[in-house]
Amino acid sequence: MRKALSALVIVAAAATGGCSVLRGSTAAPDEFAVARNAPLIIPPDYTLAPPVAGTAGTTSDAQQQAIDVLFGGPAPRSPSEMSLLDEAGRDIAKIGIRSQVWDPDTRIVDKGTATMAILSAPAADTNIATAQTGQ
């Protein structure tokens, strides 16, 4: 019985070890022997001048160029779209109107009393969402 148990342990160890027990260890391939390393070179001199203090930089121009490259710049508009925008009064719109739209005193659409009650409800210290409308 003892011989059978030891033989079973040896077979189990050989099975878990796989073929590496029978084959032995082999050397891993050398990744540096595959290709020759390129020599380091000094880049050409582009004679870039350092920035001068007190002069205006080109950051806004470079930023606009980057935005144009990423997003394609302004899209051309058709004559019908231009006439529609002119009829809508795009030339008389206030500058910064988009900042004023979300002002709490601005009423863009009549939202009704129930919606206004929900929007003006005080914040609660609970994880449960509830809304009560006074009806």
DSSP 100-125: HHT-TT---S--HHHHHHHHTPPP-S
pLDDT of residue 24: 61
pLDDT in tens, the chain (135 residues): 888 888 888 888 777 766 665 566 667 777 777 777 778 887 777 777 777 787 766 666 777 888 888 887 777 889 999 999 889 888 887 777 766 666 666 656 666 788 878 878 777 777 776 666 665
pTM: 0.25
Find out whether 121 and 131 touch, Cβ atoms under 8 Å: yes
CA distances (Å), origin 47, targets 42, 44, 54, 56: 14, 9, 21, 20
For residues 90 and 107, the answer to whether their CB atoms sit within 8 Å is: no
Instruction: For residue 75, give Cα distances in angstroms to 23, 39, 45, 72.
Output: 67, 47, 39, 8
Q: What is the pLDDT of residue 79?
A: 92
Where exactly are the structural domains of the chain? 65-103
